Structure 1
Amino acid sequence: MKQTYLLIVLIFCSCAQNTKEKTPSKGAVEIISAAENVAKEVTEQINNGTTFKEELQKLKTKKVPLIDSTSFDIFIDESDYKTINAEAFQLPKIYKNWDKENDKHRAVSAYRLNLSDDFYTVVVTVLSGDEVMESKLINYDLEGNVIASEMIAYDETVESWARTKSRIESNKITIDYQYTVSEDDEDGPVYSVVKIESDGNFRVLGIRDICYELVIKELNLDESKLIPTLQAFKILPNSPNEAVVVIPEIAVGSEEEGYLEFNTHIALVNTASKEITHQYFESHETNGWISDAIHLREITIDTAPYDHSEDVRAFGIRIRFIGSSQVNPYENEALSLFVKSGNNLKKILNNFEIMEYGGEWSGDCDGEFLSEEKTLSISEEKTNGYFDIIIKNKLTKSINVKDELGNCDTKETFTNKTSVLKFDGKTYR
């Protein structure tokens, strides 16, 4: 790379020198100016790259996971403040007001992290004036150019202060923000999680992503056995600090072409404390979560008010299947209901079909279809301590035929039925 840069510089400089032997024309002046700019830019790139790598080698390397809680408490004596080459680490580009007179910045500490073979990672502590100190985690490409930066620690000495610390792992940063306005007005910690992508960029995770990662980690799930598009997340409307997380896991040995079986993992997560409070597991052998010619297309969480007693509310998990045949269309949706039971979740309604659609047709017009849709409502009557569930079932039969003019006519007939589900002490039947 350096040899290519130097060759370009020599060619431009040679052109510039030859034009000086004659009276330079306007075009020659432009060539000379361009040559000088290119030479300056190339030289800066070479020097910056070399300086960056030289300065990088001087830094101490730390291992992850680690907690960075950099603050003024760590810098007691003047000897605690180190000399860091700000230009080599391109800090003036990261801090737009680096040389501002009233808020001058000074890099006072730095260390390395080995997070990837594809980029370099440096944590630099910067003093802004005399009252603010912060540390940034910065990722650089292999040429020493900044990819992305994120503040991971912050401290200030003013009366109304804020402090930040972070837990750094190989692929994410968990940032803990703490703010205090006065002794009588103290807020609890606020968290954010930043994902470190494989290319060195950062992505701030929302509560959905945080809960997915928490459940996957705590339940020790193999990510290669997960299909993210089938995962589900929803905050309970009656309990804003609780979220339901559903993660289907491909069962070991069930992977065949066009055929998959899934184990069921359901967790209730406290979004404030980031803890799993309740969980449920069911094997692929009994849960019916199979995807073959009838594809498991979607899993959703149903938070309708399924109040099964005065103090017990269930939530639902819906699974939707769609057939792959065009001449024999098929669609099915089933609902299961869950309630808390100790530290676990208990299923009280198992894969109850709430929608089914199927039929057969020519692909043009002629055909016959049957759809069935069920709605659930809670009765005032109880069985074994739980309210009964009233089922209203609407059946629609459709027949398509072509008339004498070739138009496709549809005739529909409707049937309505009502039934009741009662709790037998373990489940609704």
Structure 2
Amino acid sequence: MPDDFERMWSDLAPIGRSARTGGYFRQPFLSAERELADWFLEQCVSRGLEVETDAFGNVVAWWRGGGVVSHLRVHEPSEPGPKGDSLPTSAGILTGSHLDSVLDGGAYDGPLGVVSALAAIDELRRRGFLPTRPIGVGVFVEEEGSRFGLACLGSRLATGAMSWESARELSDRDGVRLGDVLEGGSSSLLAGVGTFVELHVEQGRDLVDRAAAVGVASEIWPHGRYRFDFAGQANHAGTTRMVDRKDPMLTYAMTALAANKQARLVDQRATFGRIEVAPNGTNAVPSRVTAWLDARASSDASLGDLVETITRQALERAERDGTSLEVTAESVSASVAFDPALAAAVAADHADGDWPIVPTAAGHDAGILSAAGIPSAMLFVRNPTGISHSPEEHAEVPDCLVGVHALADTLERLAR
């Protein structure tokens, strides 16, 4: 199993990696991410797994317990979805994650869960285990929202949490609509899924502080993405007196500082990580600044209070600056509490004792499936740097192998 994991990881390492920064650019439906998708299908074929796809590019590959099958059936996105004996005959256990990345992201966020899922099936086969319930390995598209702006887009579409009619109008930074990339339609990909278990690199230092290689998720904090449109008056940077300016950049700058202060005061999270400026000239007062706020909090009420306070302070500053502001909630995900009995069962009775159960402020496909009524759990693998969404994101191979064993143990328990 170590050789299996390390070989697969080595295969993925160069795909989509920037020679300049060392980070990854694996945006959905572009060349690097599609190369990873092809790699995944090849791995499934080599293991004799039955592959199903939906109209949105999500994929599930099923192991039904009979060893290596002699054929493969792939449902193309244009087809209505799996029917008849192509669905699990009893509630299946799904694992997996995603293969896309944030812009200039790390190697582990997403792909670690996919590689570990394949390695866990290899491990179960070596043990001679034959599941009485089907085990699937899934890959959801556009989990990060790095191209079309909505996180967990693939799983939202697969669960019906978002309609295709709304999703197809989403566009990337070049103006390409999702409807121009996909034909779309509907999905029955998850119809036979009874439980979802997602393995993920930890995005923080909780496990480092606990000296634990693996942990189990208790909950996902609520989070949202909000677009702040600041408007002012374009003017000459040299000839316009400071007192005469209507500069939206000043309003934005104060808002970014206010967001930082308010989040620190209540120990929550607020980040302006993306900004667009028009006309974006060095010698011009801008006419427009568009900025995106990522806000996260320990409860739904706390998230609402945080965004309301930031917005109020921004509007007050806009009035003083002679500018204007419109705020649009582009996506908001409510808090998710994972089934405590399932989390306890996943965490319990391992060779090294029970794994710790910890919360996370990062969004995941597991949260979308849980909210859709599919019992879900998450395993985290220790990240020694605590850094994520960055080229410095990391996990040590021995910890990754512990994660594979923990996932295999979990799948074995659930699939008996």
Range into which the TM-score falls when normalised by the shorter chain: under 0.3
Q: Which has the higher strand share?
A: 1
Higher relative contact order, structure no. (Cα contacts within 8 Å, ≥ 6 residues apart) = 2
Q: Which has the higher helix share?
A: 2
TM-score of the two chains, using structure 1 as the length reference = 0.22
TM-score of the two chains, using structure 2 as the length reference = 0.23
Query: Which has the higher Rg, Structure 1 or Structure 2?
Result: 1
